[in-house]
Amino acid sequence: MSIVTRFAPSPTGALHLGHAWSAVQAHSRAREAGGRFLLRIEDIDGTRSRPEHVEGILADLRWLGLDWDGEVVFQSQRLALYADALARLEAMGLVYRCICTRADIAAAASAPHGVGGVVYPGTCRGRSIDPARPHCWRLDMGRAIERAGPLDWTDEIAGTVAADPAMHGDVVLARKDAPSSYHLAVTVDDAAQGVSHVIRGRDLFEATHVHRLLQALLGLPTPVYRHHALLAGPDGERLAKRHGAPSLADLRAGGMDGKTLAMDLKAGRLPLGFGAMNA
């Protein structure tokens, strides 16, 4: 089987060492197998995506010496594909319009907490909503699970995993201001681009339950997954910009050699003070 991996950053901020660690793993996996490594910019969130971050991502990858195959793919140019997938789910009766605001959902007393915070209490499920009102589309999780039946997926680290998307509740598949959600776009694109191995951080492990379900509903193939450990900084906290992690641009400006850094990351040699952790 020919190996196809991808790096799929969202251009909502500068990349840091954790992103480099992820990109290096996906890149070397493809290169060692004589396969393809793709770059996909996940810019469906028009309010948070910035062209300067796209430029930064390309500059960072070049600095690291990580070459990609083919053209860079931008999700913002593929909205028709996501709309089509949503229309297919609508035709199956598996999605519904929702007009709840964040405040409405937070105020719903019974709202249990799931992986990503509050699980949607289902207020708009079964309601008839005027399509002219601003709305998002949600997956009817109960129906979707019933239709798909039991599912599993393979993770190279966790082994065979039984899909358990119910924990996410009725996830949003398209937003008022963004024609697709992360879950729908990533599922459609990994299949359309022939990605055979999804290599990404452990923080996205739970999201894969939803992606596996969407694959089954849309008749898409299931890649092999590898959810790798995340990087922790010297304070033991997961790397993220909010903890003041230096960006790759900072490291570059400080004179660090990107190709040496990529080689070190590939060999599992982490910069002093950094360590691998599981989410």
Q: What are the residue numbers of the active site?
A: 241
Span from 2-10, 100-108, 116-124, 147-155 in contact with ligand GLU (CB under 6 A): 2-10
Q: Which of 9, 122, 169, 179 touches ligand GLU (CB under 6 A)?
A: 9
Ranges of beta strands (E only) in 85-129 are 95-98, 113-114, 117-118
Which has the closest alpha carbon to 41: 60, 28, 25, 17?
A: 60
262: Cβ–Cβ under 8 A, 6 or more apart, which residues? 20, 24, 64, 65, 66
State how far the Cα of 279 lies from the Cα of 228, in Å rounded to an integer.
10
Phi, psi angles (nearest 5°) of residue 265: -65, -40
Please state the closest distance from residue 146 (CB atom) to ligand GLU, in A.
26
Q: Which is nearer to ligand GLU, 42 or 170 (CB)?
A: 42
Span from 3-11, 51-59, 169-177, 247-255 in contact with ligand GLU (CB under 6 A): 3-11
Q: Which is nearer to ligand GLU, 42 or 140 (CB)?
A: 42
Q: Which is nearer to ligand GLU, 111 or 186 (CB)?
A: 186
Q: Does 258 sit near ligand GLU (CB under 6 A)? A: no
Q: Does 61 sit near ligand GLU (CB under 6 A)? A: no
Please state the closest distance from residue 133 (CB atom) to ligand GLU, in A.
29
Q: Which is nearer to ligand GLU, 100 or 232 (CB)?
A: 232
Q: Within its chain, how far is the Cα of 204 from the centroid?
A: 6
Q: How many residues does the chain have?
A: 279
Rule CB under 6 A: which of 169-188 touch ligand GLU?
A: 186
- What does DSSP say about strands 36-41 and 73-74: parallel, antiparallel, or unpaired? parallel
Q: Does 189 sit near ligand GLU (CB under 6 A)? A: no
State how far the Cα of 273 lies from the Cα of 275, in Å rounded to an integer.
7
Please state the closest distance from residue 240 (CB atom) to ligand GLU, in A.
11
Please state the closest distance from residue 7 (CB atom) to ligand GLU, in A.
8
State how far the Cα of 161 lies from the Cα of 172, in Å rounded to an integer.
23
Q: Which of 10, 76, 123, 193 touches ligand GLU (CB under 6 A)?
A: 10
Rule CB under 6 A: which of 197-236 touch ligand GLU?
A: 200, 204
Q: Which of 42, 43, 60, 189 touches ligand GLU (CB under 6 A)?
A: 42
Other Cβ atoms closer than 10 A to 235: 11
Angular region, 72: left φ>0, alpha ψ -120 to 50, beta rest: beta
Q: Which is nearer to ligand GLU, 203 or 257 (CB)?
A: 203
Q: Where are the alpha helices (DSSP H) in the chain?
A: 17-32, 51-64, 79-91, 102-107, 141-148, 182-192, 207-218, 248-253, 258-266
Span from 4-12, 66-74, 164-172, 263-271 in contact with ligand GLU (CB under 6 A): 4-12
Q: Which residues of the shown chain bind ligand GLU in the complex (CB under 6 A)?
A: 8-10, 42, 186, 200, 204
